[in-house]
Structure formats: C-alpha cells, structure tokens
Amino acid sequence: MKIAYVTGDDPHNLKSWSGLSHYIAESLKPHGAEIHYLGPLESVVSPTLGLRRRFWNLLGQNILEGREPSIVRGWGRQVTEKLRDLQVDAILATHTELLSEFETDLPVAYWSDSNFGCMLDAYPYFQSLNPFAIRRGHDYERRALQRADLVIYACDWARDAAIQTYGADPEKVKVIPFGANIRCDRTTADVDALIAARPKDRCNLLFLGKVWSRKGGDIALAVAEELNRTGLPTTLTLIGSQPPDDVTLPSFVRKTGFINKSDPAGLKQFNDLIAESHFLILPSRAEAFGIVFCEAASFGVPSLATRVGGIPTAVRDGGNGRTFPLAASPSEYAAYVRELFGNYTTYEALARSAFREFETRLNWGVSGAEAMRQLRNAVARRKRQPSAS
C-alpha cells in the first residue's frame, strides 16, 4: 500500500515529538507500506500574529499557532502541491490540524495520542487559550474527525473524547498503543536475568521526564522519602528532569541530567539505568500516553503512575504496574511498594508480566501490524462506497 505520510515536523528527526513521527512510519514499512514523506511542512505565519499574541497575553490568555487559520490553510496548500505528482492509496497524518483545510478524494487516516478536547481539559497552556482559539480548535478537530476514514489513537482517553465531544463514528475510531522508542531484542531469559539482578533489600525508583511539575516530580520525591522513612532503603534516579531551584534534593536522589540516546554511550547508560530499577515512577498530572512506560516494560520494569489521560492504556493495573488516583498520597504509593517487597515473588511476577505486556501490545511491531490492517480495511471500505456522481 502506498501511503502519503503527512507530518508537521521532520519525520526523520528523533528529537521531534519524542521520535513518534519517525517510529509511526517505520512501524508500517515491514507490513507492506510504501511511505511517501510529505513532512516537514512550513508554518506560514500571518503578519498580525505577533500583535494578536501580545494582545491576548495582556489579558492573561494564549494563542495556539497550530490552529491559526493562516498556518492551517498553508499546510493544506503544501500537502496539495506535494501530492500533485504522487499516486498513493491513502493519506496518513499525525495530527488532525494538518489536514483540516485540505480537500481530497483519497482515504484519510490519522494516528495520534490525543485531540484538541483532550488537551483543553488536561494541559494548563490550553486552558489559558483565548475564546477564538478554543472555538477554532474545536471546529478544526470536529471537521477533520468527521471527514476521516480512520482515526487511530494511542489511548482510550482520546478515543472516548473523539466520540463523545466531536461525534466521531465509533466504527472508525480505533485504539492502537504506541511502542517503545528504543531497540529491544531482549528475550524472556534476558529479562528474567535483569529482574534477578535487582536487590531485594532496597528499592531503586526511576523518574524520567523533562517537566518536573507536570510529570509529578514532587510526588516521586515524596514517595522515595516515605519509603526511606518507613524502613525500605530507596534511591530515586532522575533522568532529564530539572527540579526547581528552591527544591533541595536529599542524598538518596541521583541526578543524571539529559542523556543522549543517539550516542552509543548515552544509550547504554539509559538502558542500564532502566534495567537496574525496580519501578518507573511517573505520577503525572497530565499525560497523553507516555512512551516511557513502554520502554520500562521492555526491561521488565513495572510502572507507578497516575490514573489520568492516556496512562491507563499504557499502564494496566496488575499487568505492567499500578495506577493511582491523582489525589493519592505518597504513603499510598509507598504502601504498595512495601507490600511487593514484603512478598518479593509478587514483585518478580509483576516484572515478568510487564515484559509480556511489552511483547504483546507495547511494541511497534505489534502496533504497526494492527495499524496496517486497519488502514487496509479503511481503503477497502472506501472502495465499496458508491460514487457521488
């Protein structure tokens, strides 16, 4: 199947959108997709954008460039031009706004982690948008979803919002989780060895995230503090996160800073830090999905997370970890960890289960195969429809 692949960012840049634009395309290729890259797209900014931004900022409100009419129309023109000499079977885009002002007779599909309604409900920046940006955001989203032949989301949260908020056809909206953005050739025996190598008398927690507050860094720190206070020696390792300057980190915290996974030495360090951890802890206040949960599972590392956004799709209770209510106290997390350490075979069983979750649903091989199946079904449905003539 020949697919025109539309991305706003550079799909070959692993630093853009956590590498997802790259991995989505790569996941389809082994299953019969011939990808024609139509990204990156240029953002054509209106001359008045800066003035309007300053005006709304004075009122304590924001604009959203990705839903600005001049930019959205510009993307539509660019896609039209890039498609002019292409013969493809379908168009796949990573975000609905990329094709909101684009007309085509070809089948159109999207594969993303959220939609405008989700972001508006969960993320502070979106909650401060000006009323015109909110109205446009909803209009673009509704138009794109209702015209789509197939909409794939990484999580149930986004699927439910598409159906309930925008009236998307439930038959066309599917959930296919993203996979881990690291190479994994580990076997069950390899992961069993990693699990066996972890100490049974102390706990290694790993916090991985750039945005300290949104990712719940303060909660992770409080959980580690509680575990140490109640008798389970615990180390908290921070990757990529920078706590606020007024946060004094205790001696049980290790900071590694940013790790470049594109560098072999950096990748080894990243892999080793995950492999030696008992848990990934990421009590996010807002999260669309969380690729890092897939990466942790690939090492047999269960996750401790919040029951918000798309996390319950990425982390299944009893499967590859445990989710807690957003209001859960650090002592609730700590009690769960102590319970598993008190009967360590239950921890080992959970860790092995986490790897099975990776093997069966949290890897790009599985996701790409299912996405291609859905794309073929969508194209076939379109062909069966009577022409409008």
The pLDDT tens digits of the residues spanning 235-260 come to 999 998 888 888 999 999 999 988 88
Token pair of 71 as six digits? 């930019």
Over residues 317-330, mean pLDDT: 98
CA distance 108 to 168: 14
CA distance 11 to 28: 14
The pLDDT tens digits of the residues spanning 180-212 come to 998 899 999 999 999 999 999 999 999 998 899
Beta pairing partners, 153:
112, 175
Q: pLDDT grade, residue 387 (50/70/90)? A: low
CA distance 344 to 352: 13
The pLDDT tens digits of the residues spanning 86-141 come to 999 999 999 999 999 899 999 999 999 999 999 999 999 999 999 999 999 999 99
Residues 304/333, Cβ–Cβ less than 8 Å: yes
Write down all domains in the chain, each with its CATH number in brackets: 2-179+364-384 (3.40.50.2000), 188-360 (3.40.50.2000)
Strand order in the sheet with 90-93: 34-37, 2-6, 90-93, 108-112, 150-153, 173-175
The pLDDT tens digits of the residues spanning 48-97 come to 999 999 999 999 999 999 999 999 999 999 999 999 989 999 999 999 99
Q: pLDDT grade, residue 227 (50/70/90)? A: very high
| Beta strand residue intervals within 240-307, DSSP E | 253-257, 279-282, 303-306
Return the axis-axis angle of helices 20-28 and 364-384, rounded to nearest 10°. Answer: 70
CA distance 64 to 66: 6
Q: Which residue has the higher pLDDT, 329 or 258?
A: 329
**Does the predicted TM-score (pTM) go above 0.85?**
yes
Nearest by Cα to 115 from 134, 96, 91, 143: 96
CA distances to 86, 87, 346 from 42, in Å: 20, 23, 52
Token pair of 155 as six digits? 């999580």
CA distance 171 to 163: 10
Q: What are phi and psi of 191, to 5 degrees?
A: -70, -35
The pLDDT tens digits of the residues spanning 345-382 come to 999 999 999 999 999 999 999 999 999 999 999 999 99
Q: pLDDT grade, residue 389 (50/70/90)? A: very low
